[in-house]
Amino acid sequence: MSLFIGFGSEIRLGRAAAGREGTARREGGGRTGGGREDAGDCTGTGTGTGREAGGRTGGGREGGGGTGAKWEDGGGAGAGWDAGGRPAVHTSVVSGLHTRARVLGHQGDLHGVELTLAPWAAYRLFGSPLGELADVLTDPADVLGPRARDLTAALEAAPGWAGRFAALDETLLRWAADVAPSREPSPAVLRAWELLNRSSGTVPVRELAARCGWSPRHLENRFREQIGLTPKRLARILRLNRAIRQLTAGGRPADIAAGCGFYDQSHLSREFTDLTGMPPGRFLATRKEASAWLAG
């Protein structure tokens, strides 16, 4: 999951439609969100759990800026779209775990700070069931309330990136200290999360539940609350992410399908199209051109 606090420029949020390109045309170069460096193109598609880092908050942080992209994707109703079927526009955005690819683009300069959180850390800090954020891209104020405004003001007022990261650290530590005991993630959920990640989604749900001492239904409900997706849906994403890594490294699709828990190569191709909006070849070609920040 991620929280992006932008400084002025708008981000357009949309959905990659199955069987279509589902990307925005690039105008800049480089990457956005890359530490303290200047950055360029902010265009890409992605699906999955995002990048995570350790630490007291279970998250990583990045800052950067860049020049932008023209919007090309059409769409329909759904997360990331307004009531008229147009791409939603935000300056800052909270992204829950996604089971479908999303397309993001901007025009002009984009500057901001991105905080990438492990789901269980987001559950502690956000104070709401993460199932409500599944497949959702929304304004931080919808999740954090006045805290989002205060954090944005503090980051904008800070003198340079070092000051912004210091302000972010101070804010996160304060938020973490205020977390009620009832907001602590369940050790059983954390254990199931770790098992799924370590196995890249190949541990059966019934086995996960047995190891937690819960019924599959109870595990599903608690997992959706504290992680954002059910174990089965998260497993699909993890299997696909593993396949993407191996395909990017040049592996044979048939061997990768067998090793990542798919029935065959056709099953892998169908999952690609269902979850990313495009077949494997097109997805990988697009990924090479997209910002690593957004590609996931």
Report the pLDDT averaged over residues 57-61. 49
Reported pTM: 0.71
Contact predicate 130/119, CB 8 Å: yes
Beta strands in 193-285, from DSSP E residues, in sequence order: none
Helix 119-126 to helix 187-198 angle, to the nearest 10 degrees? Answer: 150
Residues 6+ away with beta carbon under 8 Å from 42: 11, 28, 32, 66, 68, 69, 104, 105, 106, 110, 291, 293, 294
Which of these, 58, 30, 53, 1, lies nearest to 292 by C-alpha position?
Answer: 30
pLDDT for 1: 85
1-40 pLDDT, tens per residue?
Answer: 889 898 877 777 665 544 333 333 322 222 223 232 222 2
pLDDT for 96: 87
pLDDT for 229: 93
Helices (H) and strands (E) in the chain, counts: 12, 11
Q: Which two tokens stand for residue 182?
A: 């009832």
Report the pLDDT averaged over residues 233-245. 92
Contact predicate 233/99, CB 8 Å: yes
128-165 pLDDT, tens per residue?
Answer: 899 999 888 888 999 999 999 999 999 989 988 999 99
Residues 6+ away with beta carbon under 8 Å from 270: none
The residue whose two tokens read 């067998």 is 258
pLDDT > 70 in the chain, percent: 68
Tell me how crowded residue 197 is: count the other CB atoms within 10 A of its CB.
15
d(CA 115, CA 261): 31
